[in-house]
Structure 1
Amino acid sequence: METHNSKYKWYLLTLILITNMVILAMPSMAMSVLSNEIAHELNLNVVQIGILWGIGSLPAIVTSLFGGSLGDKFGPKKVLIVSTLGVGLLAAARGFAPNFGLLLVSVVLVGAFMPFVFLNGIKTIGQWFPNAQLGLANGFVTMAMALGFFLGSILSASVLSPWLGGWRNVFIFYGLIGALLCIPWFFTRSAPIPKSSTGQSVSMGKSIQHVVKVKNIWVIGLVMFCMTGAIQGVMGYLPLYLREIGWEGLRADSALSTYNLVSMVFVLPLALMSDRMGSRKKIMVIAGIMTVIGFGLLSIAKGNWVWVFVLLAGFMRDGFMAMLFTSVIETEGIGHVYAGTAMGIINSIGGIGMSVEPALGNSLASIWAGAPFLLWAGSALISIVLVIFLNAKRKTVIEINEMEKVLI
């Protein structure tokens, strides 16, 4: 494909990274680290905070399917223009919520449209990057998400909230910047939309019918359910837990920032390693094992041991997710043509886990403060077992002339 040889793909990748950081990652972490401030003003308990943290993934169960399919039908550029503007404005609206009910509604609305942004970014990568660079490109995506999580967790409560005058203005600030990103997306070039033999773009219905028959997609979806649900739960609960056991607020937020930072640092080496090995599966299994151990031991960790297990759990987190996203595009019968629909189905399944697991885990805190970590460690363990059943992609042999094109 001509787009594979274009240097323009690197500009598009950079725009995807900025979009994901500003619209998805940083505001998401803001909800976690600002939870104490929000709870104090709106008089919320820990279960309500857990609901706010996880509920945004619930509408994504449905909208992810449409977001991916729309990208396959009309091309990701059009979807990204509308969704960046919509998500930005809805995210800003969270800052005007006067009570728990309306804040919950605004969080649900933001969560409904966020998959349109993320899925069509992945779709764009599948269109513009060759197989030899998919692991690297998706590694950049997950690294940018980790950087956004890190910046959001370290800046939102400690810097932006005092500077802007409270949690409400932080959400307004993030939302307006995100909405402005529709402008550079408007001026981007589009890759050709795949056509059927009749000359028409592939219909949403036929795309879904095709993808749901691919067994690997369902296995990846279940992995997504278990692992992202566990990660979402830990990221929302960790700052609250550490404050509960006596950690000062900034130090508790720094633990979450460290979790995101260590993941960001190692994601690209892991992505490059997987491209060289031609195997995503081995890296995902190792990453999963480290995550299980880290989450499980956080339940009993004291003092500086907390830092050790935070580092262990975060070391390969984004490497795992980068390999999972790449596995979708590399699945036989999917490719970049059906990547949007496939990612939509997977994100829908994952959204269930991200909605259920944070609130479920937080509810166990009334029994024992460390109990939620054991639940999430168990969920991550199930994901490892599921990865073993993935149909691994055969190692790709690249011809010399194709490799030369990749390096352009």
Structure 2
Amino acid sequence: MTRHSVGPARLRARDPWRYRWTVLGVATFTQAAAGFFVGGLGALGVHLQRALDLSTAQLGLLVSAAQLVPLAGLLVAGELLDRYGERWVVGIGAGVVGVALGVGSLAPGYAALLIALLVAGAGYSTVQPGGSKSVASWFGASQRGLAMGIRQAGLPLGAALASAALPLVAEEFGWRATLLTGGFVALLGAGLFLACYRRPPVPPAPSAPPAPTAGEPSDTVAAQLRMRLRMVREPSTVKVMLSGTSLISVQYGVGILTVLHLHHTSSVGAGRAALILVAAQGAGVAGRICLAAWSDRSGSGRYTIVLVCMVAVIAGLVVLTTPAGRAPVAASVVFVWLGFFGFGWYGPWVAYVTEAAPPGKTGFALGLAMSVNQVAIVTMPPALGLLVDLTGSFTPAWALLALLTAVALAVTAKAERRVQDPGSSYHSV
């Protein structure tokens, strides 16, 4: 065998940890593929409103439908991941997304489309925590932030590609064809993950844990429940929940309202407005990678980067509430700014969650944090859309997001300054 014919299996045998970059690429692609269609809904806003006669609130409800089942599904997915591993849980989940979107292309109207997106959301429940857990298990702390940022960039990357492609598909073939396209892409992601993902090499066996004290079972339902309740009460969990829900609200608000704001407020054509959303989502890809890499080297910890993102997001949202926010050029620049920070926060945030989780509970910690985020994802898009419909203006929606982020910033910045209990199993990292 020549030097150039060495296959992946031989490479893994020589240095099995080199395969982590393949895992990272596969997890990133699967994330982008599974979230492709839903990520492009904002760019399809004008087309869907015309084709199905939708209000802004109804358009936001489509996003909520895709994110409703993960409210509980993320917790279930976290338990499945800890028990059965990532390969089949993520692969089957992404496959469900693809099949649901394919069936959804036959939907006779709005109600049936909502049901199809509900089913797709059930499958997607496994992809987000599963991909994060797969990357966290392959990368050490010195590279985990960068790797997690690259992997989490899959969501805005998929959304950017969808925002560029799906409006063209809708113009040429109609809105049903966009679901077929999204379903096909999701199935590609499922197949790739099933074919390529492998568990990391087994590390050296750790020293035996201390024996449990009398009256305290080591692996009972009661002990597991106490662990979960202790995690929920930890100050670091409160920080994760508050920052996550406020910033995810901004992320989905920008995703669903950018094109409509530019089209109706700044008189930008639907096609050009969609391209600006693509630019914002592209900035989000860069933000997730750059900010996560920064968190690897930040002496003040990963959560400080999240606080920086919150400050930047508030500044951008405030500009949108002023007359400058109605000027096409200024508004476009602000949306790209919000893309970088309002999407980029997720890289350091999810790395913080994985490192703060107790040993063996990474899947549950990710599922818990992401399920809390789902509350905001489900409620905010239709709420913001209804606010726009009732007021006839986008200014109240941007002001609401700025207020929510400011409150979360004030509370979590104070918590970050507190000295955490070093004996806690879920302390700041």
The bucket for the TM-score relative to the shorter chain is 0.7 to 0.9
SS at match of 1:212: helix
Q: Give the unaligned 5+ runs of structure 2.
A: 1-12, 212-218, 421-429
Shift of residue 224 of structure 1? 1.5
Q: Residue in 1 aligned with 2:90? A: 80
Selected match of 1:281 from 303, 306, 313:
303
Q: Is the 8 A contact 2:302 2:352 kept in 1?
A: yes
1:302 corresponds, among 318, 321, 326, to 326
Matched ranges for 1:5-404 at <5 A: 6-24=17-35, 26-157=36-167, 159-163=168-172, 165-187=173-195, 188-191=197-200, 209-214=226-231, 215=234, 216-245=236-265, 246-278=267-299, 279-300=301-322, 301-303=325-327, 304-331=329-356, 333-335=357-359, 337-365=360-388, 366-369=390-393, 370-388=395-413, 389-390=415-416
Distance 1:128 1:353, change over 3 A: same
Label 1:146 to 1:393 Cα distance change in 2 as closer, same or farther (>3 A): farther
Equivalents in 2 of 1:376, 1:137: separation in Å? Answer: 29
Q: How many residues align?
A: 385
Report the Cα offset of residue 392 of structure 1.
Answer: 9.1
Q: 1:204 to 1:239 in 2, by over 3 A?
A: farther
Structure 2 distance, partners of 1:235, 1:49, is 12
1:319 aligned partner, one-letter code: G
- SS of aligned partner of 2:68: coil
> Displacement of 1:342 after TM fit?
0.7
2:131 is paired with a residue whose SS is helix
* Separation of aligned partners in 1, 2:221 and 2:284: 35
208 and 253 in structure 1: CA distance in 2 versus 1, 3 angstrom threshold? farther
In 2, distance between residues paired with 1:325 and 1:380? 18
Normalised to the residue count of structure 2, the TM-score between the two structures is: 0.82
> Conserved in 1, the CA contact under 8 Å of 2:28 and 2:150?
yes
In the alignment, is the contact (CA less than 8 A) between 2:135 and 2:151 conserved in 1?
Answer: no
Q: Is the 8 A contact 2:145 2:296 kept in 1?
A: yes
Q: 1:52 to 1:184 in 2, by over 3 A?
A: closer
Q: Match of 1:291, SS?
A: helix
Q: Secondary structure at the match of 1:213?
A: helix
Distance 2:378 2:222 in 1: 26
Tell me if structure 2 keeps the 8 A contact 1:291–1:314: no
Asked whether the equivalents of residues 87 and 110 of structure 1 are also in contact (C-alpha less than 8 Å), the reply is yes
Alignment RMSD (CA, Å): 2.8
Give every structure 1 segment of 4 or more consecutive aligned residues whose post-TM-superposition deviation is greater than 3 Å. 191-198, 202-209, 390-394
Aligned-partner residue type, residue 279 of structure 2: T
